[in-house]
Structure 1
């Protein structure tokens, strides 16, 4: 290995050591222990867990994950590294199966001493030898622990997937097993089922492209769009799981992140906020509760907004009583009925549509916009892996983001991989994806808007992307 190569290893090791020092100092100052991987329980409100969200600790964590991954890639045999990457589907499959078999809950009830594979397998009438092999693979990837030969227990990671119900109830009422959970496990099962199966057809879809056909269509033998397919009666449980999973991911966003972007309080009293594709208007409600002088229009499909008024009556009745909120069932690819909007807010909508459809949506908003109307798109902006910043990042106010310290990948590599997984999932399922800043600039321009400013919300993966009419 060249001296340059050794130097790179030292740099990566130094990044890890410095980050550990920062974490150790933070936990010492708070007088709490760092969470143990072997802990059989997980509680997000525990002070030790909450401290992981501290900016100093979270930045150090990013550096450790990125550096450890890059260090492993650097020293590994390229063939072995690529081969292992190609076989990670086994981890996904086994994790989904373990969740479906309610292994986490069985182990929680067994306690830290664990449960033998034959006892775990008995509940689902499976082969205990294979159950042990499946859990051993997961334990090898630091999910679960093998405490004695063929005896398994939860660790901090597997415990985070606990549905919080007795295992007996989960087996007896499978249709309701995810209802009332925090959505984490619902999202995991969505990923290891519909998304995983769809991505298995990626190569065939790319090698033999057919108009409008997605990996999802090949995987499930349907020509319907995913959202239409989910609404088929036989897929009612899948639709329920999808909704719970999406709610679970939304719940991970800090409650105040919405107010670290566009300055909602700068809007004059009586300004009209239109929540386009807003479902029951939960995001708009959060904004209006802090800015009660705003008038709100919630727009979505009829069956979605029909649930909006009861939700607002229960959680923000004053706005309903004062006639400051309206619910409109619309097709947002058709003409936009609101002509006096101060802000069109489009949160987590555009990523569901390819460029042609997303452009059509934005054009409809532009046709209805006043010269002073602002477009606020709330989505993830995918960072480039390139060490060179894009021209858009340098030119648009607020768009630049910190880069990881050298020699780490500029986007923190594996430490930020969630956004790139999500990008692939959205493509496989609905034919769209997460967009880079350059993609948003082009999309806004085609839709009749100029991308004027970006806010990267504090503690959030979402950004507020601000447009003005062209």
Structure 2
């Protein structure tokens, strides 16, 4: 029997406080060094080599369990799922579509029946599900009877999160991660930044960059590429990609201001901007096949009034070779920091855009920006730093940019950029940094003509 959610929160906080107090008292009772060790210590604490008393072990278990459960209770479910994708157990339930079997069965389903539907031996499946239940994914209603919960419902196969999960744990990406060390230690590939020298290439023997594989070279890659594209919808939803719509002062722009969404696919952000700020004129530019999809399929279905009102213009562009529509007030740029985007190509795109800007135009780069874990004086910081004793980049609280950086290294031999990287790109393109807008996860860099 579950308790009301509100009471759970205060109970968890109390458990965390009591457990932390118990562990702190244990450290302070040591006669040789009566203090809690700092994370900065490199010398062992006298208690590090000893066997913790049972009550201290229990306190640590309660502390770890309560912290994880508190975060899980308070965060959106897709936020939590994005943080805890792991290959073994989730790979089983995703590919076996266990959440689908449990759909609309709140009383739960015996594992033997689940086994019949998904083809995994029941005793082994029970072990997998119980491991996930311990991490609050699925719910064990009674012994070996399992049901969906707030997290596992994200794994139903019709959701973008299912596609993202399978992409994360399935080949070629899951196997590629195992080859990261081999690739980095290789005398030739380790120093290379060529897109075809990634752990993905080493793991699969595929001689070209991953994005070519996803584009259907060979054909089997096209299916995974389509799944990846749907998975990125799940990522963007969980990572609050739409925060750009509310995190930037669009309402302060003069009526009739022109916003050009460059490389925005079918225009997810542009559509949100239209619905919230009807005084903006929108342009959507991307590769021809994406613009064709947006113009013929997506916008007429999802936002026909924008098309009818003439508030949206579609124009294909290859940003690596062509300049965008000139004289726009804002150029919104995504994906200039990763995937197959080398520094030379990013520089070319920014330079081409700079060439068509007016003196008052702005470029907004909406990207993850890697932040150092080294603290600087607040008056020198360009980011909001987390308060002490947290790491200034919020540590595990903002771990996803670093996970994504490792994914780029593993899959494409590329990287997420630091703010210093972006400033260097901007200055080389005749631009200057105006402001860093903190959107909570992905940031927004505002650039103006230098």
> What TM-score, normalized to structure 2?
0.73
1:156 Cα deviation from its structure 2 partner = 3.7
1:113 Cα deviation from its structure 2 partner = 5.2
After superposition, residues 396-407 of structure 1 pair within 5 angstroms as 399-406=382-389
In the other structure, the counterpart of 2:445 is: 465
Instruction: Give secondary structure in 1 for the equivalent of 2:447.
Output: strand
Quick check: 1:153 aligned with 2:146? yes
Structure 2 CA distance for aligned equivalents of residues 279 and 107 of structure 1: 34
In the other structure, the counterpart of 1:294 is: 280
Quick check: 1:450 aligned with 2:432? yes
In the other structure, the counterpart of 2:408 is: 426
Q: RMSD value over aligned CA atoms?
A: 3.6
**Maintained 8 Å contact 2:324/2:352:** no
In the other structure, the counterpart of 1:103 is: 98
- The equivalent position to 1:183 in structure 2, one of 152, 160, 164, is 160
In the other structure, the counterpart of 1:224 is: 208
More helix by share: 1
- The equivalent position to 1:94 in structure 2, one of 89, 92, 96, is 89
1:287 Cα deviation from its structure 2 partner = 1.7
1:107 Cα deviation from its structure 2 partner = 4.2
Quick check: 1:5 aligned with 2:36? yes
- Which structure is higher in RCO with an 8 Å CA cutoff and minimum separation 6? 1
After superposition, residues 32-51 of structure 1 pair within 5 angstroms as none
**Maintained 8 Å contact 1:107/1:152:** no
After superposition, residues 251-290 of structure 1 pair within 5 angstroms as 251-252=237-238, 257-290=243-276
Structure 1 CA distance for aligned equivalents of residues 90 and 130 of structure 2: 11
In the other structure, the counterpart of 2:392 is: 410
**Maintained 8 Å contact 1:104/1:158:** no
Quick check: 1:321 aligned with 2:308? yes
**Maintained 8 Å contact 1:144/1:152:** no
Gap change, CA 1:453 and 1:105, over 3 Å in 2: same
In the other structure, the counterpart of 2:48 is: none
In the other structure, the counterpart of 2:356 is: 368
Instruction: Give secondary structure in 1 for the equivalent of 2:446.
Output: strand
Structure 2 CA distance for aligned equivalents of residues 113 and 124 of structure 1: 15
Range with greater deviation from structure 2 (297-306 or 283-292): 283-292
Q: For residues 287-315 of structure 1, give each alpha carbon's deviation from its aligned partner in whole angstroms, at most 9, with x where no partner exists.
A: 23333343322111110000122333334
Structure 2 CA distance for aligned equivalents of residues 113 and 292 of structure 1: 47
Structure 2 CA distance for aligned equivalents of residues 356 and 319 of structure 1: 36
> What TM-score, normalized to structure 1?
0.70
Structure 2 CA distance for aligned equivalents of residues 415 and 154 of structure 1: 29
Structure 2 CA distance for aligned equivalents of residues 95 and 303 of structure 1: 34
Gap change, CA 1:440 and 1:337, over 3 Å in 2: closer
In the other structure, the counterpart of 2:331 is: 344
Instruction: Give secondary structure in 1 for the equivalent of 2:162.
Output: helix
Gap change, CA 1:159 and 1:125, over 3 Å in 2: closer
After superposition, residues 109-188 of structure 1 pair within 5 angstroms as 111-112=106-107, 114-116=109-111, 118-144=112-138, 151-154=144-147, 156=149, 158-163=151-156, 178=157, 181-188=158-165
1:145 Cα deviation from its structure 2 partner = 5.3
1:410 Cα deviation from its structure 2 partner = 3.1
Name structure 1 gaps, 5 residues minimum. Answer: 22-33, 38-48, 62-87, 164-177
* Number of residue-to-residue matches in the alignment: 381
1:421 Cα deviation from its structure 2 partner = 1.2
